[in-house]
A = this chain, B = another copy of it.
Amino acid sequence: MTIDVPTLRKEFPTLSRELDGQRLVYLDSAASSQTPTAVLDAMDHFYRWSRSNVHRGVYPLAEEATDLYEGGRTKLASFLDADPRGVVFTKNATEACNLVAYSWVRRNLREGDAMLSTVMEHHANHVPFTYAARDLGFEVRHITLTDDGQLDLDVARRLLADGKVRFLAVGHVSNVLGTINPVAELARMVREANPDALVHVDGTQAAPHLPVSFRDLGVDFYAVTGHKMLGPTGIGALVARPELLDAMDPFLSGGDMIRDVTLEGSTWNDIPHKFEAGTPMIAEAAGLGAAVDWLTDLGMTRVREHEVALTAAMIEALTSIEGVTIHGPTDMAVRGGAISFAVEGVHPHDVGAMLGSKGVCVRVGHHCTKPLMRCLKLNATARASSYIYNDVDDLEPLVDGIEAARSFFAR
């Protein structure tokens, strides 16, 4: 069963806006998705009905707030097929990556050790680790790409050969090339080379689009962010194996994450609370819970099917424009919905500005992947990224806008 996009669009208020009299065509969901009214209602309900703080309250409002917050955790856990005890709420995926960097990498890797990453990582999955490496002196190795924008597993094998790699940080789906990386296979390779090595996956661009089972992936950490999966801003999560969290020292500390505090020191609370210091994102967790419920109702298999069909059509539409080339794989079996493209003779900024003037929202720039840009010998790309509320009727405005940019700017 396909998605009935026209009906579904009605649930996304911003999409009914007009820009200069033109229909808004939102093709920037890889940067941030729209939010359905069900999510807004869930947050509103908290603020208008149960507004209070969580945990330890002895009055009904506080218990309701706790239920909303912890309910968000349970929902996200079942959405990602993970143990709720292993779901730590953070403010975004970036904080989730930092949690891994501070609580595990910085406390375990030393000079002489190595970690493995890739040249296509988002800065969120790159900088926290190279920053740690700068402070601690361990080595960072990078898997390079094949010509069609996939990870070169032969290179990976070579980089793992000496057994020094104790940690892998890899994205599940690239926000620039769209590439879906074989993370389960990489995890197996890493553990074969070093059974004690841990695997951290940046699932930011995967969780909104693919059915994800944390258990089946066989990895140790998995980071997601709410605002790209129909949820609110201000919330993300790190999913981890509970045993691992149990053994780790906390990162942020303060209230709620302690068991006991004396003037001299503290003992830590049980997981996941040990990693959630301070008043949490209560409304946001309620909103994210509603978002994953909404996605579950729609069905993640359908979400992916819609992505495959629409992305294939978009690739075809784009490549049929003269002078347009696409970066990254074109085989839908190994790619998601983010499409970076170049327009010959027109700078991406100008492409984006022209499209914006026609109501078509795309992102231009380095997409927080400067190392990848250097590899591709690019300064920037224009990127169109679709989601469930996009449909083939969005292709014409996109193509028209690009053609207008070509005739306006191409020298």
Q: Which residue numbers of A lie inside 8 Å of B, CB to CB?
A: 13-14, 17, 19, 24, 26, 28, 31-32, 34-35, 40, 43-44, 47-53, 56-62, 90-95, 97-98, 101-102, 119, 122-128, 130-131, 134, 140, 142, 225, 227, 232-236, 250, 252-258, 260-266, 277-284, 349, 352-353, 355-356, 360-365, 368, 370-371, 374
By the criterion CB–CB under 8 Å, are A126 and B261 in contact? yes
**Complex alpha-carbon distance, A22 and B16, angstroms:** 42
Of listed A24, A90, A92, A261, residue having the most chain B CB within 10 A: A261
- Shortest C-beta distance, A134 to chain B (Å), equals 6
**Complex alpha-carbon distance, A49 and B12, angstroms:** 10
Apart from the given pairs A32-B52, A94-B252, A123-B253, 6 other A-B contacts in the complex at a CB distance below 8 Å: A26-B61, A31-B62, A97-B254, A98-B254, A123-B255, A127-B258
Residues of B within 8 A of A262 (CB): 370-371, 374
CB closest chain-B residue, reference A57: B363
By the criterion CB–CB under 8 Å, are B28 and A254 in contact? no
**Shortest 4 CB-CB distances between A and B: which pairs?**
A94-B278, A59-B356, A94-B254, A124-B254
Question: How many copies of this chain does one complex carry?
Answer: 2
23 A-B interface contacts by CB (under 8 A): A14-B50, A14-B52, A28-B59, A32-B51, A40-B48, A58-B364, A61-B361, A90-B91, A91-B95, A95-B277, A98-B252, A98-B253, A98-B254, A119-B263, A123-B261, A125-B254, A130-B266, A225-B278, A233-B281, A233-B284, A234-B234, A261-B370, A263-B374
By the criterion CB–CB under 8 Å, are B142 and A263 in contact? yes
Residues of B within 8 A of A364 (CB): 56, 58
**Complex alpha-carbon distance, A362 and B31, angstroms:** 42
Known A282-B233, A370-B262; judge A28-B52 contact (CB<8 A).
yes
Residues of B within 8 A of A122 (CB): 254-255
**Complex alpha-carbon distance, A267 and B261, angstroms:** 38
By the criterion CB–CB under 8 Å, are B126 and A277 in contact? no
Residues of B within 8 A of A374 (CB): 262-263
**Complex alpha-carbon distance, A141 and B125, angstroms:** 38
By the criterion CB–CB under 8 Å, are B31 and A51 in contact? no
- Shortest C-beta distance, A237 to chain B (Å), equals 13
- Shortest C-beta distance, A115 to chain B (Å), equals 12
Residues of B within 8 A of A234 (CB): 91, 232, 234-235, 280-284
Known A127-B258, A263-B119, A266-B127; judge A98-B14 contact (CB<8 A).
no
